[in-house]
Amino acid sequence: MGPGENKMKNKMKNKMLVVYNTCGLRRDNTEWYIECINSILNQKFDGFRVVISSCLNSPQCIKQLMETFGKTISYSLHSQKNTVNITFNKAVKDSVKEFGEFETYLYVDSGCSFEEQDLFLEKLYQTYKSGDYGMVASQSDTDEALQVLDDKFVYQTTEIQIKNKDYIIPIGKAINVHVNMYSNKIYQKYGALCPDVFAAFCSESVFNFVCASVETKWVIMKDYQVHHRPSIDGASAGFSHNSKKFGNHWNNLLFERDAMEFINDKGAFEIGLGYEECNNIMNHNPEAYDGSGKAKHPKKLSEKVNQYFYLKPEELNYDNLESVFIR
């Protein structure tokens, strides 16, 4: 088989990378991790690979995971404290180096289990393929925050709230995501998936602008809901939820960045950038989008997204992070 055929074969196999994200800074939840990973491995879906992204879990935890799963999954083991955005991105980057690019990448919070829903990945993938989507979010039974989209929704419930039709999240709106799929278009544009400037909160508030910058939309999958145990490893463990310098949650960025730089950037506003709109921090310019929510200036928007929401190599070189990848 020639190199071109190998490349095509890998492309056909690499439909989805599933990254299960854990953190042992406060505690290990090893038995729960095993239950959740099993719920992923039990999926009836071809073309996915599982990697656990572990930030500072104990050697005993890692040993038990490896004894349980062996080579059926991969391991991205981070030995220094970093945000979940960064460790997730690092796990993806190392997986791509090892296996090639994937069509989609699925972030899974450590508190999430698909339980007996063995078609969950298949349905997520079908949703992704059904439209021009850059991200696909799953509904969850806790800490969902759908009420920010419409008054008919409630903050959390075990009842599935979005049924029969997928829900495109309007520009300027956001929800809390615990299972979220990213398109490879985002990886190809930015060399990373999750915006990584945030020390703790506000990441989701810019997801729609990331999607718009690659001419896609952010959608919530209908009819399915993931079981989510909130803050099982601790919410944003290891990082303050409020900036010591600015005294709030929304100007709490890494490497001494100041959110006021993009909030006061008139050019960024003109081409459609927004931030933390649920708290009226930086409301986007609706004139920068057409009636369907498509960005009128995606190239300029992508330049601002890259400038303000993704770290520069001189701030963070992913290749220099202390981690080990085990295939």
CA distance 318 to 83: 13
Give the closest residue to 177 by CA, choosing from 195, 157, 151, 203. Answer: 203
Do residues 321 and 80 make contact, with C-beta atoms less than 8 angstroms apart? yes
pLDDT score for 25 = 87
Residue reference for tokens 């180096």? 97
pLDDT of 93 reads 98
**141 neighbors 158 (Cβ within 8 angstroms):** yes
Tell me what pLDDT residue 245 has.
Answer: 86
**Exposure class string for 290-319: b at 16+ Cβ within 10 A, else e:** eeebebebbebbbebbbebbbbeeeebebe
CB burial of 142-173 (b: ≥16 within 10 Å; e: otherwise) equals: bbbbbebbeeebeebeeeebbeeebbbbebbb
Please state, for a pLDDT cut of 70, what percent of the chain lies above it.
95
Q: Which domains does the chain have, with CATH numbers?
A: 16-239+311-326 (3.90.550.10)
pLDDT recorded at residue 191: 97
30-41 vs 59-69: helix crossing angle, rounded to 10: 30
51 DSSP β-pair partners: 19, 74
Tokens of 259: 């959110």
pLDDT digits (tens, 9 = 90+) for 41-64: 999 999 999 999 999 999 999 999
> Where does residue 132 rank: exposed (0-12), middle (13-18), buried (19+ CB within 10 A)?
middle
* Helix/strand/coil percent split, the chain, to 5: 35, 20, 45
The residue assigned the tokens 């289990």 is 113
Q: How far is CA 272 from CA 230, 267, 284, in A?
A: 33, 9, 5
Measuring CA to CA, how many Å separate 200 from each of 248, 257, 307, 308, 321?
A: 11, 14, 19, 16, 19
pLDDT digits (tens, 9 = 90+) for 210-258: 999 999 999 999 999 999 999 888 765 566 777 888 889 999 999 999 9
More confident call, 32 vs 247 = 32
Per residue in 116-171, pLDDT tens?
Answer: 999 999 999 999 999 999 999 999 999 999 999 999 999 999 999 999 999 999 99
Distance CA 72, CA 77 (A): 16
**Residue 7 confidence class, pLDDT cut points 50, 70, 90:** very low
Q: Between β-strands 179-183 and 323-326, what pairing exists: parallel, antiparallel or unpaired?
A: unpaired
Q: What is the CA radius of gyration of the chain?
A: 19
- How many angstroms separate the CA atoms of 254 and 150, rounded? 32
Is the distance from CB of 79 to CB of 45 less than 8 angstroms?
Answer: no
